[in-house]
Amino acid sequence: MKNLLTSLILLITFPLFAGQESKLDVIDFPNIPEIPVPDGMNYGQFFTKENPAKLVFGVSDPGHQLKESLINAAYTIKYLKPRGIPYQIELVLYGKAILPANSFDEKYASYAALFNELNKHGVVFSICNNTIEALRADRNDLYEYMQVIPAGILQIVKKQMQGFAYIHNTK
């Protein structure tokens, strides 16, 4: 009898929640196309308010690797935020990847809109001081929301020790 009652409740309530995935708010990022998530496709109850997603991206290449990392951060937010799932995302830029962090560098101006929008959604950008010194970059030219940290590699280690998943996109 208990199983029958449970089945009836599920049959009655399922239509109320079916298709709920498709009614979520859409978050737009510049040049990031919308990819719909089919109804019913999810991670179960893995990501919750008590178990947020914590990612740190280590980026040393200003080309493909940086672009891929920014896209991955955007899609992570596009999936989690509308579902009310908290996240912490940090991009640690070191090596030549700090070059696009120069807000005046026209060569990398195509990143500006995505940097800004990701920052609005809480993404932290950390720039390696060792690299700034090695490349003789001007820290005053960085986007105002980017923070300078002593060493990119040690920032990644710190984040891993704090439970962040380390993401390192390769070519």
Please state which CATH number belongs to domain 74-171: 3.40.1260.10
pLDDT digits (tens, 9 = 90+) for 7-58: 333 333 333 333 444 467 888 899 899 888 888 888 888 988 888 999 999 9
pLDDT digits (tens, 9 = 90+) for 107-129: 999 999 999 999 999 999 999 99
Task: Give the chain as a DSSP string.
Answer: -HHHHHHHHHHHHHHHHTTGGGGSPP--BTTB---PPPTT-S-TTSS-SSS-EEEEEEE--TTHHHHHHHHHHHHHHHHHGGGT--EEEEEEE-GGGGGGGBTT-GGGGGGHHHHHHHHHTT-EEEEEHHHHHHTT--GGGB-TTPEEES-HHHHHHHHHHTTPEEE----
Q: What pLDDT is recorded for position 169? A: 85
pLDDT digits (tens, 9 = 90+) for 54-97: 999 999 999 999 999 999 999 999 999 999 999 999 999 999 99
Q: What pLDDT is recorded for position 37? A: 86
Q: What pLDDT is recorded for position 5? A: 35
